[in-house]
Structures are given as C-alpha cells and as structure tokens.
Structure 1
Amino acid sequence: DISHKTDVGGVRIDLKDRDDVERAYQTMMSDIRRYLPNAVISGVQIQKMVTGGKEVIIGMNRDVQFGPLLMFGLGGTYVEVLKDVSFSVAPIGKDISRKMLSSIKTYPILAGVRGEKPSDINSIADTLCKVSQLVMDFPQILEFEINPLMVLPEGQGCVAMDIRLTLGVNEHANIDI
C-alpha cells in the first residue's frame, strides 16, 4: 500500500542496537498510521546500513506502443525534484546503458568531482542491462523500480536498497507491430 516509504516516515537509518530498532519500529508504525490509517502493512524489513555511495534510480514502465521503457537517473528521494533522467527502449546492451548514464546532467557527480572517488559506473551499466533483460524475459512485469540503487566507489559494486514492481497481464505481449 505504500510506494514511497520516506513520504510517510517508513524508513529509519543509522540504528545502532536492538533498542534503536524497537524504538524506530514503534515510531515508524505511529507515523505511517497518521499518514495512511488504512494502509495494509504485512511486515517490515531490516537490512544492513550501506554508506559511502551515491543513490541512483533504475525504472521501467511498459508502454503499449514501444514496450519496456527503461529510465535512469540520480535517485533516492531527490529524483522527482531533480527530474534529471534518461530513457531508452529495451532491450539494451552495454553501449546504450553507458549512454543513458552519461546523458544525465548530474553524471559528473557519479564520475567523481572535487576529489571524490568515481562511482562504480560499470556496475550501474551492468545493472541496467540486467534489468533490461529481466523485463524482456517477463512481459508480466508492467512496472519496475530500484530506488535507491546505492552505487559504491569504483570497483565496489552497487546495492539495491528498495525494489518495487507491478505484475499484471500484458495484453500486448504477443502482438506483431
């Protein structure tokens, strides 16, 4: 029932011990109930804190005419504010994925500015290609989003922090155009 957990107080970070986790859970449930009193919450997820990376978004919407339309941009909670994204129709290979990366205005942040280490660009490109293949193989995936994908410094990979997908019947999967 909750697409953007940060909007309703559904994310807590930097929890150090069991007491922090218990307090965060109680506060989080209270916050969510205040914003979305009828939300169905079937559980919570606790995961390792990942730091030292840049947040990007990889998404896909299945278009009736064009099929899977991939999206990439600097992500996390700022994606709607920055509106700095690139698009490509799937399937894509390494060359197109790299063009998607380099075409956003904020690419220099990923490449490393002002003495910062560059992000793992190869890992982002690989992830884009894998998402492209995934949505080609499974036409029942109508929407897909990794946000944020935490990209670590060069050579250290990336970690999907949150994934959301919508499954359904793709009535156009077998239509020749």
Structure 2
Amino acid sequence: MAVSLLWTGLVLLGMLQAQAQTRLQIPPPDLSRVPLQANFLPREFGGTWYVVGLAGNAFTKAEQKQSKMYTTTYKLQEDNSYRVTSTLVRGSQCDKFERTFVPNSQPGQFTLDNILSYGLQDYIVRVMRTNYDEFAMVYFKKTKDNNDYFKMTLYGRSEQLRPELKKNFINLVKSLGLTDNNIIFPARVGECIHVKD
C-alpha cells in the first residue's frame, strides 16, 4: 500500500512538473518583433489603468475563473521613472505592491529598479500600443532562475473596452506566439480597486 501511494505521488509530481514545463515551452518573442509605441508620451501614459486582459506563457485559460481585475497606477517621477502601484484583491484582502520602472534605451521601454532584490536576472517593460486616454498594451518579460516568463497586458482607463480593442489585443498576442489558451480576461470586482489614494 505504501509503495502504491509513493508511486502515485511520484506520478502526480511528474505530471505537475510536465505541466509547468509545457507552460514555459512558448519562448518569448525576439524584442525586435515586439512593437514599441512611437513618440511615447510619459506624462500622458501616467495615471491609473484597469487590467482588462492578460496573456503570457505562464497563463492558461483554466485560470480565468480565479483571475480578478486589478488596477495599476503609473506615477511619473522627476527622473522620468515611474512609481508603479498595483492594487488587487487577494482572498478577502485588498493588497497593494509597489515597484519602480526606470527608463531604458528607448522611450516607452523600462527596466525594474533594484532588480536583484526581486531575485530576477532580467526585467523589461515595453509599451507596445496606446492612445493614452482609452487603452494601452504593454509587454513584460522577466528572467528568473534562467527561465523566461513573458506576458502582455491590456490596460483600460475604464473597466470595459470596445470589443475591437480586445480583438486587436488577441491578434497581437497571437502574432507573438501565444494561443487562445494563454489569454485571460479577468473578472470585474466591486471592491478594493476603485479606492483612490
């Protein structure tokens, strides 16, 4: 009996490891393929954005039911970095976390300040497309323990976006190697994220 339980446990562990590996088998696109917003306007990009859509090599459609909408606020600093605060619901708690995005080699591209304290080897943020007052599509790539994780976020200045913007997001995501299974549209929430500082 004990041997049977041990084998069952080992099989389940192997399945979980295989599932994790399958998620990461989609490599991040070469950065030259990721669009960059022309003539990026830092001040106009600042402010609060709702996370309306997510896609990435660590997401699966099965997670859609647990995914809740959250907000991310970009506050422009004097040195043109952003103080970035995300507000989300975790369990029954309202949680906030902050980080700083520092300008990189091109306008609209950033890296995470103090990257080593997060246990990361690399972190890139790239504003792909935005009209500043309605939507933005942002690319994130991080390297941790020699694994590359990437995601794309569809931001909205409100909780709902026109259907064609969601369709454009899906098309862009697929053009960069992801599938329908890697795309999530988080559920709207009635608390926490609407509180203003």
TM-score calculated relative to the size of structure 1: 0.25
- Give the number of the structure whose residues are more often helix, by fraction: 1
- Give the number of the structure whose residues are more often strand, by fraction: 2
Which fold has the larger relative contact order, with Cα–Cα distance below 8 Å and residues 6 or more apart in sequence? Answer: 2
